Structure 1
Amino acid sequence: MFNPNFKSLVTANLNESQRSVIPRSVSAVALSLVVALTGCSKQAEKSEDIRPVRAVVVKNGTTDTAIELSGEVRPRIESHLGFRVGGKIVSRKVELGTVVKRGQVLMQLDPQDLALAQAQAKAGLTAAESNRDLAMAELKRYQELRAKNFVAATVLDAKDVAYKAAQSSYEQALAAYKNQSNQASYANLESDVDGVVTSVDAEVGQVVAAGAPVIRVAQSGDMDVVVGVPENKINMIRQMSDINVSLWAQPSKILSAKLRELSPIADPATRTYAAKVILPPDATDVRLGMTATVTFVARNPNQVIKVPMTALLQSKAGTSVWVVNQGVVHQVPVQIAGAAGEDVLIAGGVSNGQTIVTAGVHFLKEGQRVTILGADPISADAVKAVAPGESK
């Protein structure tokens, strides 16, 4: 409080001329102190925190559950071709993307070693054939001598055994010659189907082993769209029979498709399960490697509530929404039934006709008063000015 003797204490040690100036200054300081002390005794009036939000009134209905996945158009059958013999590549007849016919030569190996081996087998066959003919002639001659009883039966038996051995040697040499002839023809790598070259994995001058893949050919005809299915969508995909495919090059054209194969093993890199969808035979202007969007749709006969994804509030306790009741919000846990485009299907937790907050869910607290943007005021109390720093 203000001390009335303050003026006397200040002027006690001053001279006469200084004392004449003091009264007015002291009066001004005293007045300022009184005003300050009086203001401190009053507390500022607190305004109620009313936050503006956006909200919708939910309604029950039947909505289809849809899952959209991006994929790539791939051939139904893609062959990894390789030479059946080892050797050095001396010629490549095709390029990436070349359309090939069945029996067309794709690559060639150096045939010199194979030709020499074939000539060796041919010489062995000729020698075996000569030995067989000689053994046959001796057998006939001894058969005639035996008929005249000029030789013993054991001698005839020995000639018969020699002929049979020569015949076996001839058949062995013949098989070796045929095998080597096939080996020589394997120097040419031919396409076994009509299709298109999708990969070239070896070049001229490279030495390859037998069976090593050097080129890939996609068979013409049926094509699939391959997508990666997340592990939490596997069970839902199995129950969805309505499948639509749209190509990025033709977004307005929707193709009906069927699920042909769902891999039981996840890809080690992406941790997704490969699903192959069959395109219809009448699909035109579809090229390998095109980007496609596959939509799996399931008909939902149960009544569900559809809300925007922005209405969901994720926390450690689970998923919930804010329900507006007479201008006050309450957090309500909900059960998710699926998705429909950019909306979420709610199976339980909220009921028909309730007002759900769709924007600003992360800035609310339980029991907070709100005002809905674009809606009429609920009561006179809800029409109070918005707190400073906030905008409508």
Structure 2
Amino acid sequence: MFRFPLLILLPLALFVAACSPPETPEEAAPRPALVVQPGGAEALMDIFPGEVRARYEPELAFRIAGKISRRLVTVGDRVKKGQPLAELNAADVGLELDAARARLASARADHQLAASELDRYRPLLERGVVSGSQFDAVRSRFQAAEAQLEQARAQMDVARNQAGYAVLEAPDNGVIARRLAEAGQVVAAGQTVFVLAVDGDREVRIDLPEQDMDRFKVGDEVTIELWSRPGDTFPGRIRELAPAADPASRTFEARVAFDNQAVGADLGQSARVLVHGANGADTLSLPLAAVTADDGNPYVWVVNPDDLTLTKTPVKTGAYHAERVPVLGGLAADAWVVAAGTQVLREGQKIRPVDRQNRPVRLNQKGGE
């Protein structure tokens, strides 16, 4: 029996293998792919971290300059209206008060002398003993003394007020939120010493990015959640928007008001403000990973439920959110879309759909994420 040598058979086998047609995508084993269905507009939500603050937070400062001799409260102390918070060294203002008191006494004495002289000259003028010009001079001195007396009284009031300004008092009931000066420190007039969180309304302070400012306006309804009470949400509304960005962070401060009697939030608590998407109620949304772009044109991979093959489907998207993107057109609400690994997929590729727990998904049944 004739036998081919082994060296002849091996090249022949390689030639036959090379001439065989390549394995088609349909013949390859379907790869698992995470699939989801579009969510509604309620899934579009931005989250902004914030802090519970008082609605009114006046910055308290002395109205005169001086050295702080005593600090009577610290951060967290509850104070009442009119309660002393700090004191300045009152030696200088005390001297000013003494000087004003002396000027007032001198002006009062001059006024009395001018009044007595005027009383003496009046009958002399009537008897013709003195001329009219002499009487006018005496009356003018009296009027000048009267004006100087009024000036001295006003200076006395100012000096008395200055002495009172050496004590910084609470303008309302509240809690000391911040302390910005210490005993022994020399402060200027108007320099903030304390920040008072006034009792009453509470708000959540958040910072909004510059690119999102057009989405918000005063009065918008939002949802608030305290970090200490996850899952417990309550309504709020935007009460105030800063007209200019912070020069350091380039963000805009916003204040969100809520009913603290129903919530019972404490000052300084961390909170989250949840803002729902501004798109229409019928707007669809997808996870960010489900949307891919080709030359700036977004598209998704839609799964054919009959044969589990992929179709590249262009879509129209809205403004991207933190975790999801609104789909404004090009996608049906009941479509199944690949939500991971979209950059390695091909047109017509067959997949094995699974959910986030790697469980098989039956596409002929309606379901979400």
How far, CA to CA, are the matches of 1:57 and 1:255 in structure 2? Answer: 30
Matched, 1:38 2:12: yes
Matched, 1:76 2:55: yes
| Cα 1:352/1:250, change in 2 over 3 Å | closer
Q: Partner residue of 1:259?
A: 238
Instruction: Assess if the C-alpha contact under 8 Å between 2:239 and 2:256 holds in 1.
Output: yes
1:365, distance to aligned residue in structure 2 (A): 2.4
How far, CA to CA, are the matches of 2:71 and 2:39 in structure 1? Answer: 66
Larger CA deviation: 161-170 vs 352-361? 352-361
How far, CA to CA, are the matches of 2:334 and 2:204 in structure 1? Answer: 42
Q: How does 1:132-151 map to 2 (within 5 A)?
A: 132-151=111-130
1:56, distance to aligned residue in structure 2 (A): 4.5
How far, CA to CA, are the matches of 1:279 and 1:114 in structure 2? Answer: 45
Percent identity over the alignment is 33
Matched, 1:216 2:190: no
How far, CA to CA, are the matches of 2:144 and 2:311 in structure 1? Answer: 100
- Please report the TM-score for the alignment, with normalisation by the length of structure 2: 0.84
How far, CA to CA, are the matches of 1:376 and 1:139 in structure 2? Answer: 114
Q: Which has the larger radius of gyration?
A: 1
Q: How does 1:87-126 map to 2 (within 5 A)?
A: 87-126=66-105
Q: Partner residue of 1:390?
A: none
Instruction: Assess if the C-alpha contact under 8 Å between 1:230 and 1:273 holds in 2.
Output: yes
Matched, 1:187 2:166: yes
Query: What runs of 5+ residues in structure 2 fail to find an aligned partner?
Result: 355-359, 365-369
1:123, distance to aligned residue in structure 2 (A): 0.9
Matched, 1:322 2:301: yes
Larger CA deviation: 184-193 vs 291-300? 291-300
Q: Report the aligned-residue RMSD.
A: 3.0
Query: What runs of 5+ residues in structure 1 fail to find an aligned partner?
Result: 1-26, 379-392
Q: Partner residue of 1:369?
A: 350
| Cα 1:160/1:62, change in 2 over 3 Å | closer
| Cα 1:261/1:208, change in 2 over 3 Å | same
One of 53, 61, 70 as aligned partner of 2:32: 53
Aligned length in residues = 350
| Cα 1:278/1:141, change in 2 over 3 Å | same
Instruction: Assess if the C-alpha contact under 8 Å between 2:80 and 2:172 holds in 1.
Output: yes
How far, CA to CA, are the matches of 1:116 and 1:140 in structure 2? Answer: 36
| Cα 1:193/1:59, change in 2 over 3 Å | closer
Q: Which amino acid aligns with 1:213?
A: T
- Please report the TM-score for the alignment, with normalisation by the length of structure 1: 0.79
Instruction: Assess if the C-alpha contact under 8 Å between 2:215 and 2:278 holds in 1.
Output: no
| Cα 1:305/1:87, change in 2 over 3 Å | closer
How far, CA to CA, are the matches of 1:169 and 1:355 in structure 2? Answer: 92
Q: Which amino acid aligns with 1:311?
A: A
Specify the SS of the correspondent of 1:72: strand
Specify the SS of the correspondent of 1:214: strand
| Cα 1:168/1:341, change in 2 over 3 Å | closer
Larger CA deviation: 272-281 vs 183-192? 272-281
Q: Partner residue of 1:236?
A: 215
Q: 1:43-67: per-residue Cα shift (whole Å, max 9, x none)?
A: 2554334442335474796757433
Q: 1:193-249: per-residue Cα shift (whole Å, max 9, x none)?
A: 211111111111111122211221121111211122233433333398432211111
Instruction: Assess if the C-alpha contact under 8 Å between 1:54 and 1:372 holds in 2.
Output: yes
1:342, distance to aligned residue in structure 2 (A): 5.5
Instruction: Assess if the C-alpha contact under 8 Å between 2:44 and 2:324 holds in 1.
Output: no
Q: Which amino acid aligns with 1:231?
A: E
Larger CA deviation: 313-322 vs 73-82? 313-322
